[in-house]
Amino acid sequence: MALGSLLLGAIVSCDAGSRDDAGDCNARIEYEGVVYRPHNLLRQSARTESASLASADVVDCEGEAVDQVAVHEIRGVAPRVAIAVVDPDWRGVYVLEGTSADDWPSSIKAKSS
Structural domain contains residue 69: yes
Whole-angstrom distance, CA of residue 48 vs CA of residue 46: 6
Which amino acid is located at 98 in the chain? G
Question: pLDDT tens for residues 10-23?
Answer: 334 343 334 444 45
Whole-angstrom distance, CA of residue 93 vs CA of residue 74: 9
Domain that holds residue 104: 3-108
Task: Yes or no: say if 72 and 52 are a contact pair by the CB < 8 Å rule.
Answer: yes
User: How many structural domains does the chain have?
Assistant: 1
Give mean pLDDT, residues 85-108: 94
| pLDDT of 50 | 87
| pLDDT of 26 | 87
Structural domain contains residue 113: no
Question: pLDDT tens for residues 68-79?
Answer: 999 999 999 999
Structural domain contains residue 59: yes
pTM for the whole structure: 0.77
Least confident of 4-8, 58-62, 91-95: 4-8
Question: pLDDT tens for residues 25-56?
Answer: 889 999 999 999 999 999 999 999 888 999 99
Structural domain contains residue 103: yes
